[in-house]
A and B are shown apart, each in its own frame.
Chain A
Amino acid sequence: MPQELHLQSLTELAAGLERGEFSSLELTEALLTRIESFDPSLNALITVTADAALAAATRADARRASGDAGALNGVPIVHKDIFCTRGVLTTCGSRMLENFVSPYDATVVERLDAAGAIVLGKTNMDEFAMGSSNETSYFGPVRNPWNVECSPGGSSGGSAAAVAARLAPAATGTDTGGSIRQPAALTGTVGLKPTYGRVSRYGMIAFASSLDQAGVITRSAVDAALLLGVMAGFDERDSTSIERPVPDYLAGITGSLDGLKVGIVRQHFDAGLDERCALAIREALAVLEDQGAKLIEVDLPNIDLSVPTYYVVAPAECSSNLSRFDGVRFGHRADDPEDLMDLYCRSRGEGFGAEVKRRIMTGTYVLSAGYYDAYYLQAQKVRQLIAEDFTKAFADVDVIAGPTSPTPAFRLGDKTDDPITMYLNDIYTIGANLAGLPGLSTPCGFVDGLPVGLHLVGPHFGEETLLRCAHQYQQQTDWHVACPETYR
């Protein structure tokens, strides 16, 4: 007897649809029912597009019948609410866009649509993707399916929780400093942030343009490969997307790890890392070694500067990117403004939450006359050094492995009063964003019943290596198939 639909992976569902074992309509209905029963306690979705999904599923079944099915025809997914979706509320987790219905589709949305994917809804997220716990969302925190008292991580916490709770087989996410990989680690899912420029940013609401990258959250490396293959590729509407053919990510995934050189960074195992997590990571590295990989210590001398560097560059860009939310053309507008200044101050004051304001103010400060050189310019120089460290390291190794996050999921409310501690959640992931490198988190164990993630970083366009490494690891372990009991 075939497994229940919600427990099947993206790849299995695509194959099942192909074989006609079930229809897209049945599958979509099943998942919408799950969302209806479980999401009230998880709060993973801001918008559920049930009617549109059912209609799309019917169309997908018709396409299937006429032999005109794309790679993801009829497979349901969810989008992080940072991607613009035509005719659908696109809030970015903010009161500022509580009423914003996008008039257009992001490129990512368009490509997945074209492949036949069905959108079940839009996932909750930290406001404008600024946060590591999903607690900055105007729509309330998302709860971790492994323990609803805990955070699922952020900012793509809704996407991660939805995939972990089997409400959808896969989700899109975005990652500016770890926003795909950290929630994937904290929810026992697979999170892939591609190389900067691999996936179009068009229609993805900008947080920090030079760091933002769209990616996927799935339940296996194979699923990530399938989804990325559809999303990736040059887009003339995004000048920073790179004109380079998209490889067949699935084809390379089965290769062996024999001789693979895996870099280990000393600083990644320093005091900040939870000892039990460290143990899980070391065991995971041993699994890679067993398959023929060689562990080699590499030095990233400036990696300790990545968090401070990030918290200059990202706020600087966000302070400018978020200027367009001024109450004039779209989004939240204050009632009865007295004059222009009042319109600006109250629309923005009411529309943005505390963390967004904190970053806008930090960013405005570091770009100000007299401070620009000391902060923004200096941070750009350090960013360059960090990127060069990675380049040197990748001369010796094929992939760098370590922890995704210093601790397993923390309790909601534990870190909200201390931004610095919250920022340190991304200490292992930020480097890849600063250097524009691909990074992947795959489940590698549990601590107190909460998942731990193994983080893999590759050289530019090294997604195939990351996927192969993760896939081979997943062939030897079953952490990635573990499902929280309530959601089985």
Chain B
Amino acid sequence: MSGGWEAVIGLEVHAQLATQSKIFSGASTAYGAEPNTQACLIDLGYPGVLPVLNKEVVRMACKFGLAVNATVAPRSVFARKNYFYPDLPKGYQISQFELPIVEHGELLISDADGKDKRIGITRAHLEEDAGKSVHEGFDRYSGIDLNRAGTPLLEIVSEPDLRSAKEAVAYMRKIHTIVRYLGISDGNMQEGSFRCDANVSVRPRGQQELGTRAELKNLNSFRFVEKAINFEIERQIELLEDGGEVVQETRLYDSDKDETRPMRSKEEANDYRYFPDPDLLPVEIDAAYIEAVRETLPELPDAKRQRFVEEYAIRPEDADILTVNRALADYFEAVVAATQGKAQGVANFVIGDLLGALKRDGLDIEQSPVTAGDLAGLLDRIKDNTISGKIAKEVFDAMWAGEGTADDVIESRGLKQITDSSAIEAVVDKVIAANPSQVADYQSGKAKLIGYFVGQVMKETGGKANPGQVNAILKDKLAR
């Protein structure tokens, strides 16, 4: 960023709650159904219908509040946000305004120097999603699909504590991790169940007062969040340095052109006329309820990360990766529990080989063809010197391809490591005899050449010789 400027960013993250039915009706929330097949009379806003709160969303919001160390409000109130749009059947969205269910939370992200940084969470409130307009295939009209109308959302609003696009992404990832740990959202960004708006402003470094902000709407991937914010920061700085002023407005990010541009100003002039929804009673939550929900909280990512570092003595940066996803962390722990190998070795293999293979094949950890137990079996064969770490990669690929357990693959492919000293000695003798000039160089002080000899021996044995033994025998024989 240009030297004298500081960016100030706040995010509004919308997480779709993973309920079976909608927030105020019994209609299903499943994704991808035929248009308007999952919208009942309540979702359609028919005359005379009334909303009834799905209790599950309260539990989920409460879980989130506890997970981010927030206050769960003893009394929160649903309000109507009034505006006209064809995908908003009632002409108002039921949301929470003055009294949200969660307030005053916080979470930690790593800043640019890798240090913990606290980001405040102003509030999180429950609301219903709108439907969507379909602009193709209807001649001069637009179609409306109300399947999504009434889907429960938790809108999580941060303090303007973020100072760069990177921090914003780190924060959003952290929220993403937490909601999935809690099982309250599937976090599926392609399906729109996790998205955010970003409020971005810049100010001269050292100035307390906030600059005028622009709101960037509907950012539905981590990459777009980063790019849109970076674009917007640069745009604002350029504008100010040229003597212009930032206009408070809503802007849309165009990922094709990698730019933000203002939405039509008509949509800006909204006065939402919020007022408490007289069809719904205030949500009242007592301490006993909160404690009961607290009992159901899983170990959260920060605590798990710290425990992994302390309990398994793995590198903190590896613990970061392994705890991003609860299923991955569970997988890691299952392997550690089942193998004789060291935890750091498990971490290395999971991060290096397993995650690589999952990414390559576009799979989630839950879909891994190699189970935690099978992976433990493979790592045991490294530990007991049946195979080398290098051969293990070949065995893993074969297991991935469905050739069976580690033992099956080692057996069928004849990959068992050579640990017989006399057999290794014979190969070593052969290599020494074949390379007189390299032997002379080594003996005259070029110690690095040991690698060359190891390589030759491995080549001769098809990689199956025990590397430790090869090293020791080579050094011994070359020293003579």
> Do chains A and B interact in one complex?
yes
Interface of A toward B, CB cutoff 8 Å: 83-84, 90, 92, 97, 100, 102-104, 106, 201-206, 208-210, 236-240, 316-317, 319-320, 322-326, 328-331, 340, 344, 364, 367-369, 372, 376
Q: Does B285 sit at the interface, judged by CB under 8 A?
A: no
Is A237 a contact of B50 with CB atoms below 8 Å? Answer: yes
Nearest CB of chain B from residue A258's CB, rounded to whole Å: 39
Nearest CB of chain A from residue B279's CB, rounded to whole Å: 5
Residues 34-92 of B at the A interface (beta carbon under 8 Å) = 41, 44-53, 80, 82, 84, 86, 89-92
Is B275 a contact of A367 with CB atoms below 8 Å? Answer: yes
Nearest CB of chain B from residue A305's CB, rounded to whole Å: 20
Given A209-B278, A320-B273, A369-B271, the answer on whether A203 and B48 have CB atoms closer than 8 Å is: yes
Q: Does B252 sit at the interface, judged by CB under 8 A?
A: no
Is A364 a contact of B279 with CB atoms below 8 Å? Answer: no
Is A323 a contact of B50 with CB atoms below 8 Å? Answer: no
Given A320-B80, A320-B91, A323-B91, the answer on whether A203 and B49 have CB atoms closer than 8 Å is: yes
Is B84 a contact of A326 with CB atoms below 8 Å? Answer: yes
* Contact for B275 among A90, A100, A316, A340, CB less than 8 A: A316
* Contact for B91 among A103, A238, A324, A376, CB less than 8 A: A324
CA distance A236 to B271 in the complex (A): 33
Chain B residues whose CB sits within 8 angstroms of the CB of A206 once the complex forms: 47-48, 279
Is A201 a contact of B50 with CB atoms below 8 Å? Answer: yes
Q: Does B144 sit at the interface, judged by CB under 8 A?
A: yes
Chain B residues whose CB sits within 8 angstroms of the CB of A103 once the complex forms: 41, 46
CA distance A410 to B134 in the complex (A): 53
* Contact for A368 among B50, B271, B281, CB less than 8 A: B271
Is A364 a contact of B46 with CB atoms below 8 Å? Answer: no
CA distance A316 to B80 in the complex (A): 11
**Among B50, B82, B89, B271, which residue has the most Cβ atoms of chain A within 10 A?**
B50
Nearest CB of chain A from residue B329's CB, rounded to whole Å: 40
Chain B residues whose CB sits within 8 angstroms of the CB of A209 once the complex forms: 278-279
Q: What are 26 A-to-B residue pairs whose CB atoms are below 8 Å?
A: A83-B48, A97-B47, A102-B46, A102-B48, A103-B41, A104-B41, A201-B50, A202-B48, A203-B48, A206-B48, A237-B50, A237-B52, A239-B50, A320-B82, A320-B91, A320-B92, A323-B82, A323-B84, A324-B45, A325-B47, A326-B84, A326-B86, A329-B44, A329-B89, A330-B47, A369-B273
Is A238 a contact of B50 with CB atoms below 8 Å? Answer: yes
CA distance A103 to B46 in the complex (A): 9
Q: Does B280 sit at the interface, judged by CB under 8 A?
A: yes
* Contact for A372 among B84, B92, B275, B278, CB less than 8 A: B275
We find that the number of chain B residues with CB closer than 8 angstroms to chain A is 28
Chain B residues whose CB sits within 8 angstroms of the CB of A369 once the complex forms: 271, 273
> Is chain A's interface secondary structure helix, strand, loop, or mixed overall?
loop
CA distance A239 to B279 in the complex (A): 7
Is A324 a contact of B271 with CB atoms below 8 Å? Answer: no
Is B48 a contact of A106 with CB atoms below 8 Å? Answer: yes
Nearest CB of chain A from residue B36's CB, rounded to whole Å: 10
Is A367 a contact of B48 with CB atoms below 8 Å? Answer: no
Sample of 7 further A-B pairs with CB below 8 A, known A239-B281, A324-B47, A344-B84: A92-B47, A201-B50, A205-B47, A239-B53, A320-B92, A323-B84, A326-B91
**Among B45, B53, B273, which residue has the most Cβ atoms of chain A within 10 A?**
B273
Interface of B toward A, CB cutoff 8 Å: 41, 44-53, 80, 82, 84, 86, 89-92, 144, 271, 273-275, 278-281
CA distance A325 to B92 in the complex (A): 12
Chain A residues whose CB sits within 8 angstroms of the CB of B84 once the complex forms: 323, 326, 344
Is A330 a contact of B46 with CB atoms below 8 Å? Answer: yes
Chain A residues whose CB sits within 8 angstroms of the CB of B274 once the complex forms: 367
Given A84-B47, A92-B47, A239-B52, the answer on whether A328 and B279 have CB atoms closer than 8 Å is: no
Given A100-B47, A239-B50, A329-B44, the answer on whether A324 and B90 have CB atoms closer than 8 Å is: yes
Is B82 a contact of A367 with CB atoms below 8 Å? Answer: yes
* Nearest 9 CB-CB pairings of A with B: A323-B91, A367-B273, A210-B278, A209-B278, A203-B48, A324-B45, A205-B47, A84-B48, A205-B48
CA distance A319 to B52 in the complex (A): 21
Chain A residues whose CB sits within 8 angstroms of the CB of B45 once the complex forms: 324, 329
Chain A residues whose CB sits within 8 angstroms of the CB of B279 once the complex forms: 206, 209, 239-240
CA distance A359 to B45 in the complex (A): 21
Chain A residues whose CB sits within 8 angstroms of the CB of B50 once the complex forms: 201-202, 237-239
Least CB separation from B51: chain A residue: A239
Is B89 a contact of A368 with CB atoms below 8 Å? Answer: no
Chain A residues whose CB sits within 8 angstroms of the CB of B280 once the complex forms: 239-240
CA distance A202 to B279 in the complex (A): 10
Chain B residues whose CB sits within 8 angstroms of the CB of A208 once the complex forms: 278
* Contact for A323 among B48, B49, B90, B278, CB less than 8 A: B90
Is A90 a contact of B47 with CB atoms below 8 Å? Answer: yes
Is A236 a contact of B52 with CB atoms below 8 Å? Answer: yes
Chain B residues whose CB sits within 8 angstroms of the CB of A326 once the complex forms: 84, 86, 91
Chain B residues whose CB sits within 8 angstroms of the CB of A240 once the complex forms: 278-281
Chain B residues whose CB sits within 8 angstroms of the CB of A316 once the complex forms: 275
CA distance A73 to B189 in the complex (A): 56
Is A202 a contact of B273 with CB atoms below 8 Å? Answer: no
CA distance A104 to B44 in the complex (A): 13
**Among B48, B89, B280, which residue has the most Cβ atoms of chain A within 10 A?**
B48
Is A340 a contact of B273 with CB atoms below 8 Å? Answer: no
Chain B residues whose CB sits within 8 angstroms of the CB of A319 once the complex forms: 82, 273
Is A364 a contact of B273 with CB atoms below 8 Å? Answer: yes
Nearest CB of chain B from residue A397's CB, rounded to whole Å: 29
Is A202 a contact of B144 with CB atoms below 8 Å? Answer: no
Least CB separation from B39: chain A residue: A329
Chain B residues whose CB sits within 8 angstroms of the CB of A322 once the complex forms: 91
Chain A residues whose CB sits within 8 angstroms of the CB of B281 once the complex forms: 239-240
Chain B residues whose CB sits within 8 angstroms of the CB of A201 once the complex forms: 50
Nearest CB of chain A from residue B443's CB, rounded to whole Å: 88
CA distance A322 to B50 in the complex (A): 14
Chain B residues whose CB sits within 8 angstroms of the CB of A330 once the complex forms: 46-47
CA distance A376 to B82 in the complex (A): 15
Chain B residues whose CB sits within 8 angstroms of the CB of A202 once the complex forms: 48-50
**Among B47, B53, B90, B92, which residue has the most Cβ atoms of chain A within 10 A?**
B47
Chain A residues whose CB sits within 8 angstroms of the CB of B90 once the complex forms: 323-324
Is B144 a contact of A328 with CB atoms below 8 Å? Answer: yes
Nearest CB of chain B from residue A315's CB, rounded to whole Å: 12
Is A320 a contact of B275 with CB atoms below 8 Å? Answer: yes
Is A368 a contact of B273 with CB atoms below 8 Å? Answer: yes
Least CB separation from A370: chain B residue: B271
Chain A residues whose CB sits within 8 angstroms of the CB of B82 once the complex forms: 319-320, 323, 367
Is A102 a contact of B47 with CB atoms below 8 Å? Answer: yes
CA distance A368 to B270 in the complex (A): 10
Chain A residues whose CB sits within 8 angstroms of the CB of B89 once the complex forms: 324, 328-329
CA distance A326 to B89 in the complex (A): 9
Least CB separation from A376: chain B residue: B275
CA distance A209 to B48 in the complex (A): 10
